[in-house]
């Protein structure tokens, strides 16, 4: 039997260990923003459209889309086009994106109202993102359409923010989400949007963040950038980080950043920073790694 490798304990004095927030940063990195365009036909709903909505809620996208499209053929404009767009939205899924493309290609934009035009363009942008084409998504939902439709402007901004991020334009994506925040009415949507802003900032390197700060005239973005700097810089203890946050609150008293994100900085510090009395590093002083271990020990 081979003799076990001997190990030598190397003892260190108290140190500060920082555990990277990788898991947290990845949690929302690919998340989609949940804005629902459905259930907008209450005034003209029929048993068929109601059935289609139930199928859609059950995940039966193609069945629902077929019913929406067939029902559209029995309606005059603009109900016809609204139902056709609804059919396309129903199949905006990776496995049914070709069907969505066919539906969207058959919808005549020249007869669409401003609301329906923006809604169709949002669907086209979502389709482009499903195909991994963020620039095509931005072309489908250009800046000139912002504020064209009050009803669907949040949807337009949300899809543009996703496309900008996918295209590597992180600062513009964050700025778009900051604008979007002002239009969201549901607390859950605002919370998700703010978390997406925060995680994008956490995943951005310090050099780029400094560049953004140097070329920024948006006070809301300035508050976000200053806050993430507090999160990223080293702190000796709780008092140091609490003092930094207090100074930040005084400087950015009119900020709209939710408290749970601000409070998370202190919580993260408490969770991911530990200061043990002693740490033992076990080195194999015999065997195939002995030379490497001796070098580390030395």
The full DSSP string for 127-190 is HHHHTT-HHHHHHHS-GGGTTT-TTTHHHHHHHHHHHHHHTT-HHHHHHHHHHHHTT--SHHHH
The pLDDT, as a whole number, for residue 184 is: 95
Number of residues that this document lists for the chain: 298
Secondary structure class of 19 (helix, strand, coil): coil
The closest of 53, 77, 76 to 65, measured between CA atoms, is 53
The pLDDT, as a whole number, for residue 25 is: 31
Distance CA 92, CA 114 (A): 21
Burial class (CB in 10 A: 0-12, 13-18, 19+), 48: middle
Question: Phi, psi at residue 256, to the nearest 5°?
Answer: -115, 15
**For residue 264, what is the DSSP state?**
H
Q: pLDDT for 24-56, tens place per residue?
A: 232 223 333 445 444 444 335 689 999 999 999
Check if the beta carbon of residue 180 is closer than 8 Å to that of residue 158.
yes
Q: pLDDT for 49-77, tens place per residue?
A: 999 999 999 999 999 999 999 999 999 99
Tell me the Ramachandran region of residue 168: left when phi exceeds 0, alpha when psi lies from -120 to 50, beta otherwise. left
Percent of the chain with pLDDT over 70: 81
Question: Phi, psi at residue 12, to the nearest 5°?
Answer: -115, 155
Least confident of 21-25, 149-153, 178-182, 274-278: 21-25
The pLDDT, as a whole number, for residue 209 is: 96
What are the angstrom distances between the C-alpha of 261 and each of 218, 223, 252, 257?
A: 20, 12, 15, 7
Question: What's the whole-number average pLDDT of the chain?
Answer: 84
The pLDDT, as a whole number, for residue 270 is: 56
């Amino acid at each position: 039997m081979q003799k076990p490798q001997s190990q030598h304990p190397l003892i260190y004095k108290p140190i500060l260990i920082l555990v990277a927030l990788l898991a947290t940063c990845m949690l929302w990195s690919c998340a989609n923003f949940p804005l629902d365009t459905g259930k907008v036909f209450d005034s003209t709903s029929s048993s068929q459209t109601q059935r289609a909505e139930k199928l859609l809620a059950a995940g039966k996208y193609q069945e629902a889309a077929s019913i929406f499209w067939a029902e559209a053929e029995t309606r005059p404009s603009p109900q016809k086009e609204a139902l056709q767009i609804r059919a396309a939205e129903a199949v905006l899924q990776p496995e049914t994106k070709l069907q969505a493309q066919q539906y969207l290609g058959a919808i005549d934009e020249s007869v669409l109202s401003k609301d329906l035009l923006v809604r169709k363009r949002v669907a086209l942008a979502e389709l482009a993102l499903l195909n991994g084409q963020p620039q095509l998504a931005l072309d489908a939902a250009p800046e000139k359409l912002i504020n064209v439709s009050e009803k669907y402007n949040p949807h337009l901004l949300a899809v543009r923010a996703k496309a900008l991020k996918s295209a590597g334009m992180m600062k513009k994506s964050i700025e778009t989400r900051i604008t979007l925040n002002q239009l969201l009415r549901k607390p859950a949507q605002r919370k998700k949007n703010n978390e997406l802003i925060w995680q994008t900032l956490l995943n951005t390197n310090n050099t780029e963040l400094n560049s953004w700060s140097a070329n920024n005239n948006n006070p809301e973005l300035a508050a976000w950038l200053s806050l993430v700097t507090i999160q990223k810089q080293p702190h000796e203890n709780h008092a140091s980080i609490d003092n930094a946050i207090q100074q930040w609150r005084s400087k950015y008293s009119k900020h709209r950043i939710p408290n749970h994100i601000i409070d998370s900085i202190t919580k993260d510090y408490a969770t991911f920073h530990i200061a043990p009395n002693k740490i033992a590093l076990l080195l194999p002083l015999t065997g195939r790694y002995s030379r490497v271990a001796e070098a580390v020990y030395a």
